[in-house]
Structure 1
Amino acid sequence: MIEYKFDTQLLIEGHNLSEDAINKYITSNIKGDCLIAVGDDELIKIHFHTNTPWKVLEYCASLGDIHDVVVENMERQTNGLQG
């Protein structure tokens, strides 16, 4: 069984974005693992495994425009189904 079911990926486009601040907020406030937050002060790519992807989306949307959002159910993928 997978501990964190949803692979959540998106881009945040904004101004004065900080990889470190985003990383710190997500790891401190949203349960999950495998966090990647990379980019620059105008565009950040997020990758995170969690059971509450809506929390990631809500937080990231508060920082700027979010797009290229992908939320995949890894449990379904493990069972050979489309995520």
Structure 2
Amino acid sequence: MNVVLNGSDPDYVALLPFGFAILPDGGGMGDSGSSGSLLTVAFQILVDSDPTAKLSLGSMATFNNLIACTVERIKAALSCDTA
């Protein structure tokens, strides 16, 4: 971002979107009375500018940890007692 702030072309800045959605799973209808949620998490991570490059084991471990931590934080935020 410093490059853009200093007047360079913003077309070369990799903005990597992240998002998540929490939707009802459709349960709880009928006699079962149980319901839950479906969590969808999306990441886009630039590991290497070469599109044919292979991911290293270290990159995969970092990515797996990122997903796990993000999901745990979302679960923790949803389970907070607001009453």
Structure with the bigger percentage of strand:
1
Provide TM-score, normalisation by structure 1.
Answer: 0.25
Provide TM-score, normalisation by structure 2.
Answer: 0.25
Structure with the bigger percentage of helix:
2
Q: Relative contact order (C-alpha < 8 Å, sep 6+): which is higher?
A: 1
CA radius of gyration, larger in: 2
